[in-house]
Amino acid sequence: MSAEKQDGSLQTTFHNAVATVEFGHPASNSFPRQLLDRLTSEINALSENETVSVIVLKSLGAKVFCSGASFDELLAVKNEKEGTHFFSGFAHLLNAMRNCSKIIVARVQGKAVGGGVGIISACDYVLATPESAVKLSELAIGIGPFVIEPAVSRKIGKAAMTEMTLAAHEWKSATWALENKLFTEIHNAEDLNTAVVNFAQQLSSYNPDALYEMKKIIWEGTEHWESLLIERAGITGKLVLSDFSRKALEQFKK
């Protein structure tokens, strides 16, 4: 397996005013820190690209949208500084998506866990399939969804976030995610691509200045996330070093 394959893949394509960003990783589209940083940089670059009005975020494969943090990297964390550094990757990505001047549309073709749910929550419009179940499993491995919680709570509310978090072993159905506003639309798998392309193209036909002003309104009141998400990364970075987390991660990996 090549180094690029091990670190994951990231590719952006352009069609009219729509930029489609596709990420992938052989471990169920999980995110090692390097891939998180690459995606963050790409979102920041597209935010400054005047030829782009809409970003579509998608992942490789058919069954899993994103399985969150890389278990291998979590197990490799040796001290609190390394732990904070790793989880700050998700903080930087969510802040980049929040600050991005473009509307971000998610194409969710399959399951999402942990950080994957956070990424979906940071998108402005989400099209998914009936197979797109979601789960926040962090408590089961001795940590919690601290970094992504503000994004998840903003999208589905504190009550639904609490339900997901405390039922750490339970998958929530795509219908549940739709009813709780994590998803905006659900389409059969064979119709998803067409629905995403049509919606993104329609959105990109609108006045880009109006879309930019709308993006600012959508994310009003989240300015404090710049520091909050980094603080939350520190909490998780400390907890991941616990004996509970070490044992749980080893067990989950098996």
Written as six digits, the tokens of 72 are: 């291998």
- pTM, whole model, 2 decimals? 0.95
What are the pLDDT tens digits along the chain (254 aa)?
233 456 799 999 999 999 999 999 999 999 999 999 999 999 999 999 999 999 999 999 999 999 999 888 888 899 999 999 999 999 999 999 999 999 999 999 999 999 999 999 999 999 999 999 999 999 999 999 999 999 999 999 999 999 999 999 999 999 999 999 999 999 999 999 999 999 999 999 999 999 999 999 999 999 999 999 999 999 999 999 999 998 888 887 76
- The backbone torsions φ and ψ at residue 125, rounded to the nearest 5 degrees and listed phi first, read -155, 135
Written as six digits, the tokens of 37 are: 């940083």
d(CA 141, CA 71): 10
Q: How many CB atoms lie within 10 A of CB 8?
A: 23
Sheet-wide strand order for 111-113: 64-66, 111-113, 134-135
Cβ neighbourhood burial of 246 (10 Å; 0-12, 13-18, 19+): middle
User: 105 with 151: CB under 8 angstroms?
Assistant: no
Written as six digits, the tokens of 93 are: 């990505």
Strand-pair partners of 160: none
User: What's at 119, amino acid-wise?
Assistant: I
Strand-pair partners of 111: 64
Helix, strand, coil in percent for the chain, rounding step 5: 50, 15, 30
d(CA 215, CA 99): 9
